[in-house]
Every structure is written in C-alpha cells, then in structure tokens.
Amino acid sequence: MTQSPVPASKMPSVPPRILLGPGPSNVDPRVLRAMMQPMIGYLDPDYIEIMNETVDMLKQVFQTSEGSAFPLSGTGSAGMEAGLSSLLEPGDTVVMCIYGFFCERMVDMAERAGANVVPLRADWGRAFPEEMLEAELKKHSNVKLVTAIQAETSTGVRQPLQGLSRLAQEHDTLFMVDAVTALGGEEMAFDAWNIDYAYAATQKCMACPPGLSPVAISPRALESIKSRKTKPVSWYLDLWLNANYWGFDRVYHHTGPVSMVLALREGLRLILQEGLENRYARHHRNAAALCAGLEALGLRMVVPAEHRLDQITLAWIPDGVDGDAVRNSLLRGHGIEIGRGLGEFAGKVWRVGLMGESSKPEYVLALLSAMEKILPEHGYEVASGVAVAAASESLARAGG
C-alpha cells in the first residue's frame, strides 16, 4: 500500500473557541503546559508521588476523609458504568431517580448489568420530588442502591441531595451520585451527605480536557464490592481493581494515562488555589449575570430560579427561531460554542455552560453581545445593548 501522510498544510488547525456548551470547557493554560511534560513510567516512584498528590487533592475537592478517591481512565460515562457494574450484581434492585437524559443513560447501564431496575420518572426541568423515592422505598425490602444526578446537564436542574441520601440511609441502601457537571463548580460534600459512590469528569468544572473520571467511594461501598458473589462484568471498570492500583497495593491494572493525570493534578491545584467557596461563588455570580442578560433579551428560562444550576443554563428557543442556525452563527461568526437540547428538549432549548475556566464575566458579556447582534438576523428583534447592560449590572451588584 502506498503511504501518503496528509501534508501539514492541509491539516486543519484547531481554532480558538469560547466553549460555553455542556463541555468540554476551556482548559487553563497551566493545565495544557502540565500535559507537555516528558513521559514517565506509571510505576516510577516520581509518578507514584504525582498519583499521591492527585489523590490527596481529589479527596479535598470531594470533601472526603473517610472515602477513597482517584480518577478512572475514561470520560464521565466510565465513572457511571464503573459504579453501576461494580455495585450491582445481576438481580440486585436499584431505585433510580430519573429526571433527564443522563438519568436515562444510567437506567440503560443498570439494565445491562442485569439489575432489577426500578426507574422513578419525574418531570424534566424540575427537581426530583423526595416523596416519590420515599413512597417507592417503602414498597421494597431489599434495595441495594439508590441513584441520582446532582447537576442534570440536559435540564439545568440542581438536585438537592441530602433528602435523598437520608432516605437511602433509612432504608439501608447504598447511595450513588453523578457529579459530572457539579464537581469543581458546585459543593460536593461526599462524607457529610453520606454518599457511597460519586463520579465526575475532568472536562466540565475541573479546568482539564476530557479523559478522566474522578470518583470517590465510601468504605462500605468498597466492602460491598469486595464481598460480591460474582465478578463485575467489566474488568477494566472494576472499582475494586482500580482502587487497588490507585490506593492500596499499587498493583498494575492498566497503563495509566500519564499526561491526563498530570493535567488533573494541575487542575486540582488551580481549584484549591482559588478555594472551593470562591469557586462556587464565581460560578454563581457569572450564571446570575447570564440569566439577567438572557431575560433582558426576552428569553424564558427553563428551570425556576431556586433549582437552577450555575454550571449550565437552559433557555427556551423563541417561536419561529431556528435554534441550530443561531448556534451556527455564534460559532462561525464569533467563535462561541453553546449547546443544543437533548432528549425531550431537543430543538426546544439552548444550553449555555459556564463551567470551570469557561465561567468568566468576559465570556458572559461576549455571548450576550453576540446574541444581541445575531438574534435580529434570525427574525427575533431585540433592543441593542439591553442584555449586556443587564448582565453588567448583575455583575456590579455582585461585586464581580
């Protein structure tokens, strides 16, 4: 076969973008530089030290001293699948709180793990009602696991977790939480909220590229995995084997994605240098300014203010406006990416992410100014300057 490498001149370069979609978010330059360090063996003593530092900082971000924390190789879905396939054995009952696209993905995975799945479906765009879980748990005597998502990226809802966790405890079941869009941008108190397993992703609020799924596991969840009667169907995502590589005896499991771990270590340093509380406050300030601006454009928010996430904001696309055409104009004309709707919200909403490095006042103002220009071109009249003014006022009020 002839060999014909694509000439460098023909290879498209990656254009700079302002990433205000559901992820990946922009990556801090310090993280990109960290990834350019020389390769090192995954059992080199210096790399082990890097792993130790990563675990130590990850535990601070998850707010756990009792649990284990480490990154799985893979994106957020790896953390989801590792949890469901390691915590559930065929025939185990799992009660799943369902209020969005990613909750449905969890159902699919739990079914593949052979579990007896009890999906509790509630309205999209609203917080999941605790009473629903309470009523269901009363009907069963042998529930192994309850699942929920802290930040449903498909709906923009912040799900309060303490009530669900209390119910899981009262019924002596394990409690698993998806913190993919939350970790690093929203409080995650793993120990205090009695969570048994939580997983996240590096590409949202953690300032890193996609590629790792940081997880935290309680001692009782690890014990439960250790005492399984059957092996988890996935060897790669077996949480016990991964926990051994990362935490206990450092036995080789798979070749560690060294450069991504270097990225995560730097991302975690950035998070802790900023301070968790400051970081949550920054996400809140910028999301409030974004909402003020979008509402000044006359757009309606999908989620009521009390359950709205700071990481991702959903607005209904106005009647008669082609949502994808607007997104395309933003990308092609202004280098700004925003997200489209998923599942039952497909074609109906825009999703604007302000996560990690992408949560910046200047990005909020750039987006709103571009929307003021673009929307009239797509048949939706707006008064020039109103959105930027409303967002600026909101930022000034919040001292941002």
Ligand X SMILES: Cc1ncc(COP(=O)(O)O)c(C=O)c1O
CB 156 within 8 A of CB 351: yes
- b/e map 24-61, b = 16+ CB within 10 Å: bbbbbeebeebbeeeebebeeeebeebbeebbebbbeb
| Chain residue whose CB lies nearest ligand X | 76
Beta bridge partners of 174: 145
How far is CA 357 from each of CA 78, 183, 212, 276, 337, rounded to the nearest angstrom? 23, 13, 17, 14, 14
**CB of 312 or CB of 317, closer to ligand X:** 312
Q: Kindly state the smallest distance separating residue 350's Cβ from ligand X, in Å.
A: 16
Alpha-helical (H) ranges within the chain are 29-35, 45-62, 76-87, 101-112, 130-138, 162-170, 219-226, 239-246, 258-274, 276-296, 323-334, 361-377, 386-397
Half-sphere exposure of 387 (CA within 13 A, CB side): 24
**CB of 28 or CB of 152, closer to ligand X:** 152
User: Using alpha carbons only, what angle is made at residue 36 by residues 34 and 41, rounded to the nearest 5 degrees?
Assistant: 90
**CB of 77 or CB of 116, closer to ligand X:** 77
Q: Kindly state the smallest distance separating residue 239's Cβ from ligand X, in Å.
A: 17
Q: Kindly state the smallest distance separating residue 378's Cβ from ligand X, in Å.
A: 26
Q: Kindly state the smallest distance separating residue 111's Cβ from ligand X, in Å.
A: 17
**CB of 102 or CB of 380, closer to ligand X:** 102
**CB of 173 or CB of 213, closer to ligand X:** 213
Q: Kindly state the smallest distance separating residue 296's Cβ from ligand X, in Å.
A: 28
Task: Tell me the helix, strand and coil percentages in the chain, rounded to 5.
Answer: 45, 15, 40
Q: Kindly state the smallest distance separating residue 150's Cβ from ligand X, in Å.
A: 8
CB 70 within 8 A of CB 233: no
**CB of 149 or CB of 292, closer to ligand X:** 149
**CB of 21 or CB of 361, closer to ligand X:** 21
**CB of 102 or CB of 363, closer to ligand X:** 102
Interface residues toward ligand X, by CB under 6 A? 22-23, 75-77, 80, 102, 149, 152-153, 178, 180-181, 201, 210
d(CA 135, CA 137): 6
Q: Kindly state the smallest distance separating residue 106's Cβ from ligand X, in Å.
A: 8
List all residues 6 or more positions away from 397 whose beta carbon is below 8 Å from its beta carbon.
none
Q: H-helix or E-strand containing 148?
A: strand 143-149
Half-sphere exposure of 171 (CA within 13 A, CB side): 25
Q: Scanning the structure block, which residue is given the tokens 């998070």?
A: 271
Q: Kindly state the smallest distance separating residue 318's Cβ from ligand X, in Å.
A: 25
